[in-house]
Amino acid sequence: MRKTSNNGNMKMAYPLGLFVCLFIYVAYIKWHWASATQAFFSITEVAAGSHRNQQVHSPSGTSGHDQEVFYGIMFDAGSTGTRIHIFQFAQKPRETPTLIHETFRALEPGLSAYADDIEKVKDVFKASPFLVMEDCVSIMNGTDEGVSAWITVNFLTGACTHLTVRLIILRCRHVWLVAGRDQNRKPSFTLLCSHSYLGLGLMSARLLLLGGVEGQPAKDGKELVSPCLPAGFKGEWEHAEVTYKISGEKAAANSYKLCANRVSEILRNKVHKTEEVKHVDFYAFSYYYDLAAEVNLIDAEKGGDLVVGDFEIAAKYVCRTMETHTQSSPFVCMDLTYISFLLQEFGFPENKVLKLTQKIGDVETSWALGAIFHYIDSLNKPKDPTNK
């Protein structure tokens, strides 16, 4: 019997429970220059050392004397660890900021261990020399993550003036479809449409396809059976701290069709079709990238472009041969079939090109950068005198 968890080549943390943002505004704040910069560079010296899980990115371009320099620090406090992003920006008057340096470091355990006592986390950051606002520590919802990732990609592709980049993100429990309306206006991160579907992320979809219930063990330890798993397969699968016994059905003539029928059932009337996806460019992230790399549709390191129909072709092949071709995971047939149907339910035509990447200009396409910009924007907005 095999035990399968959500760890491995496609390991993903559960939806982010907590995020902490610190914004350090340096250029013209003379009164806080010494303490803030000293503390900042002490952090970056540590982060730039020979530590594991550390990345440093320096996009081309340097800051000049006519530019305002500022920093943002984002603590991504997930369930498996805390990722620390330190961004350095330069900005000329009335122009879009330029990212000139990123430092990244991952630490364990995660700050999310303190999610039930956010006040303690706030006290820690308020004791620091950085600018920390009242709302800077909070529980992050799924919609915010999707929108922040969208801001990141628009910024890194240079499209933030027109907000033309769209993206679809598939995580463990959520799937997001985020798009901006193409209008010629000054940089803004508010004019967009975003759809967040809790319960349709890849891990949640697996449980639905197996016939299980989120957060509940199978009744009387019953084995969950699916035509989307290899015939004769028996094993265990852990999801949301619950372990399930799972197995494949008996050998059938058309495993893909049986699996596709089951996927179609769970997606019926669950998502909104939109005409916009047919006519605009889309980026696809997270499990879309991981699965495409798993079956060699794209380069695992560099990413690449593919058409939506490639997922269906790969799903049919993997499902047909899963009994004779050992995959790294027994879920590959199920996962490919699911994401193929999910794209179709959103309205993506088979010949629609998707761009799959993990980095743009050597910078990770995470939500953290977009969240920094959103926070900066909130600092610049006038305060409501009635909101004390």
- Catalytic residue annotation: 145
Kindly give the pairing relationship between strand 68-77 and strand 98-107: unpaired
The alpha carbon of 172 is separated from its chain's Cα centroid by a whole number of angstroms, namely 10
Contact by Cβ (8 Å): 292, 339: no
Q: Is 171 exposed, middle or buried (0-12, 13-18, 19+ CB in 10 A)?
A: buried
CA distance 218 to 111: 31
**Backbone CA torsion sign across 306, 311, 316, 321:** positive
Judged by DSSP in three states, 44 sits in helix
CB atoms within 10 A of CB 336: 28
CA–chain centroid gap for 201, Å, is: 11
Q: Phi and psi at residue 385, in whole multiples of 5°?
A: -65, -20
SS3 content of the chain, % helix, strand, coil (to 5): 30, 25, 40
Contact 266, 33 (CB under 8 A): no
d(CA 345, CA 133): 41
